[in-house]
Amino acid sequence: MRYLLIAFVVLLCSLIATAENYLLNGGQQSVIRYKMVQQIEPSSETVTVDLTFVVPMDFRSETYSQSIRNLTFDFSIAPQKKSEFRDDNGNLVRKFSWVRPGKAFKASVSFEATNSVQLKEINTVSPFPPTGLDPAVNKYLQSTEQVPADNPQIRRKSKELLKDVKTQFEAVQRILSWIIDHMQYVLTPEKYDALYSLGTGKGNCQNYSHLAAALMRAAGIPVRIVNGVTLKRPFDVRVGSNVLTLNMAQGRHSWIEVYFPDLGWMPFDPQQSELFVSNRFIRVEVGRDNNETVNDGLIRWTRKRGSKSKLSFTETIEADFVQDEISLTGNRMQYGPRKLLLFPGISSKFVAAKTPQEKPPVKPEADIIRRFKYEKPFIYGNLEFPEGVNFAFPREVQQTDHGKVQEMKRSFLVETAEYVTSNREYAQTFLLNETVLLQKIGLALHNFGGSGKVWVQLHEDQNGKPGPVAAKSKTINLQYLKTVAGYYWIDFDFVDQKLILTPDRYWMTLGFSGAPIINWFYSYGKPVGPIDGTRYRPLNSGDWNRSLSYEFNYRITGLKGTL
């Protein structure tokens, strides 16, 4: 057997887990023309259709503010009835009703949002446990099915995390920092409640929000759940000579607001690892948990007795940034979670939680590698993604009232993917702790069409960034890739090259020729790799000095080396 030993140069610091806590300064100011369009296709047996929407309100806090103007509801078929009410959480709900609509129709909500973020030192003297709470916020201390704040497991974890805390802001930061390192984002968890999140360490934005709310409420801190929309408009944070680019999918999202006696309600996003929310967030509805925040985008309908007909539905969101000014800089702190945490300055004194460091993987000597046998299957990577899901139809139908009434609630299933055969080149790192005979590198891709060829390139590491190409997979003609809905594993073959990868840091890029149109799926946060492990640059030029806040889904398969 012929061995090709790839020696990569790696900075020691890139293989040691260190704090990824960034103190941000600056702001964002945007004017956004927003429009959400729902296409409803009832059957001939549909009797009634009800749509409800929550009116987005103005909101102001120490870090984030939202101002709504020119709110308009439009319908291609006029509703026969309109009504309006406030729910128990103060949300203003508008309901629109149709009787035997007979054919497909559209409902749209449009408005102009002026959103701003100001990140400067926050002056707060709120102690922990908090005192002097407004009685109106007591309901957001209550335990619910999805936020079981009185559960013994939740109470024990909350007490453990906050045992030496003196200020409320420190308590919030301790809990969110732990959640960031404990949780891994997945689009389709089995459950959404805080206990499931605590036990499995997995979930989507609802899980992150419910777990954060449960741990804080258990400690006497009022928290409410916020539902709204995030917009797919990236923004940059300059960190020294490098740039960190943050981006979210366009779709429904859940986050939290925490009540401080001296500041009022403050927004935080546990899933996006922010002790604030960016101005790419549109705030719509609040409640004690996501079982209560259901009125925005809720569809209910009835059908003829005995009918099993269905109602089809699609939802699209459009956002035009009329104005967008960004000025954000970050400084890395030597404490906090291993994964990314972004936060504003805070005047409140607290004891910073140190992050334990880990030793880098040990690379075996060359003579040992030569004696290895490669027989045991090996698979590694960012493996969890919703394979084959059609994101155009993400909602599920639920039956209520013994089957008489059907309903569809808003969905948090969003398409997180990057167009990677464009004028940019994207690189994803992976760290190996084993010696592996490489066979294939798989990427979670969707082929939209076009023509040409694609392949994967394996790179050396140079000071924590991709170096020269060390190896190249076999090419795949685009005609052999699926064009059906959803994302699938596409495996790129390295078998004939007999590549042995020792414990180290490596990079992969997707090479292409012709004009393919391909998206690469990604996971929020960094489920597997380091925070700087996803990078991009102009195609075939420039330094890899721009990193992304998410991690592409990939898998490394081969045979593990053992004596």
Structure tokens at 49: 């259709």
Which secondary structure element, helix H or strand E, spans residue 195, and what is its range?
A: helix 194-200
Determine the pLDDT at residue 393. Answer: 64
C-alpha 229/C-alpha 315 separation (Å) is 12
Measuring CA to CA, how many Å separate 172 from each of 232, 351, 354?
27, 13, 16
C-alpha 84/C-alpha 74 separation (Å) is 16
Task: Provide the CA 446 distance to its chain's centre, in angstroms.
Answer: 19
Structure tokens at 279: 């101005």
Q: Kindly state the average pLDDT of the residues 190-197.
A: 96
- Residue bearing tokens 């004891």: 351
Q: Is the pLDDT of residue 94 over 50?
A: yes
CB 60 within 8 A of CB 153: no
Residue ranges of the alpha helices (H) in 494-547? none
For the chain, state the CA radius of gyration.
25
- Nearest C-alpha neighbor of 267 from the set 197, 326, 343: 343
Determine the pLDDT at residue 399. Answer: 59
Dihedral (Cα; 277, 282, 287, 292), 10-degree rounding = -130
Q: Kindly state the average pLDDT of the residues 491-508.
A: 95
Structure tokens at 366: 């060359």
Render pLDDT for 138-180 as a digit per residue (tens, 0 to 9).
999 999 999 999 999 999 999 999 998 999 999 998 999 899 8
Q: Kindly state the average pLDDT of the residues 521-537.
A: 91
Give residues with Cβ within 8 angstroms of 109, minimum separation 6: 35, 36, 53, 71, 72, 73
Q: Is the pLDDT of residue 377 over 60?
A: yes
Residue 193 banded pLDDT, cuts 50, 70, 90? very high
Single-letter residue type at 369: I
Determine the pLDDT at residue 14. Answer: 33
Averaged pLDDT score across all residues of the chain: 89
Q: How do beta strands 4-5 and 223-230 pair?
A: unpaired
Structure tokens at 199: 């036990």
Lowest mean pLDDT among 276-280, 357-361, 397-401: 357-361
- Nearest C-alpha neighbor of 531 from the set 342, 276, 362: 342
Residue 345 banded pLDDT, cuts 50, 70, 90? low
Check whether the bond before 129 is cis (ω within 30° of 0).
yes
Render pLDDT for 252-265 as a digit per residue (tens, 0 to 9).
999 999 999 999 99
Instruction: Please list, residue by residue across 362-375, b when 16 or more beta carbons sit within 10 angstroms of its beta carbon and e when fewer do.
Output: ebbeeeeeeebebe
Q: Kindly state the average pLDDT of the residues 411-418.
A: 90
Determine the pLDDT at residue 5. Answer: 32
- Nearest C-alpha neighbor of 454 from the set 427, 474, 468: 474
Lowest mean pLDDT among 17-31, 53-67, 334-348, 435-449: 334-348
Half-sphere CA count of 219, side-chain side, radius 13 A: 32
Q: Is the pLDDT of residue 563 over 90?
A: no
C-alpha 547/C-alpha 11 separation (Å) is 17
- Nearest C-alpha neighbor of 162 from the set 172, 152, 153, 150: 172
C-alpha 514/C-alpha 210 separation (Å) is 46
Give residues with Cβ within 8 angstroms of 450, minimum separation 6: 421, 478, 514, 515, 516, 517, 518
Residue 37 banded pLDDT, cuts 50, 70, 90? very high
Whether pTM > 0.75 for this model: the answer is yes
C-alpha 64/C-alpha 222 separation (Å) is 19
Residue 396 banded pLDDT, cuts 50, 70, 90? low
C-alpha 456/C-alpha 447 separation (Å) is 15
Task: Provide the CA 58 distance to its chain's centre, in angstroms.
Answer: 25
Measuring CA to CA, how many Å separate 195 from each of 140, 144, 189, 200, 406?
18, 11, 13, 9, 29
Give residues with Cβ within 8 angstroms of 78, minimum separation 6: none
Instruction: Please list, residue by residue across 478-515, b when 16 or more beta carbons sit within 10 angstroms of its beta carbon and e when fewer do.
Output: beebeeeebbbbbebebeebebbbbbbbbbbbbbbeee
Determine the pLDDT at residue 367. Answer: 73
Structure tokens at 21: 């806590």
Structure tokens at 398: 């639920």
Which secondary structure element, helix H or strand E, spans residue 425, and what is its range?
A: strand 424-432
Render pLDDT for 264-296 as a digit per residue (tens, 0 to 9).
999 999 998 778 899 999 999 999 999 999 999
Q: Which one has a higher pLDDT value, 543 or 319?
A: 319
Q: Is the pLDDT of residue 346 over 80?
A: no
Give residues with Cβ within 8 angstroms of 334, minimum separation 6: 18, 19, 21
- Residue bearing tokens 């936020």: 147
Structure tokens at 544: 């890899």
Q: Which domains does the chain have, with CATH numbers?
A: 4-16+362-398+408-562 (2.60.120.260), 118-290+322-343 (3.10.620.30)
Through-space distance between the first and last CA atoms of the chain, rounded to whole angstroms: 16
Which secondary structure element, helix H or strand E, spans residue 175, and what is its range?
A: helix 168-182
- State whether residue 398 is helix, strand or coil: strand
C-alpha 291/C-alpha 94 separation (Å) is 18
Determine the pLDDT at residue 402. Answer: 61
Determine the pLDDT at residue 467. Answer: 94
Determine the pLDDT at residue 361. Answer: 63
Render pLDDT for 471-481 as a digit per residue (tens, 0 to 9).
999 999 998 88
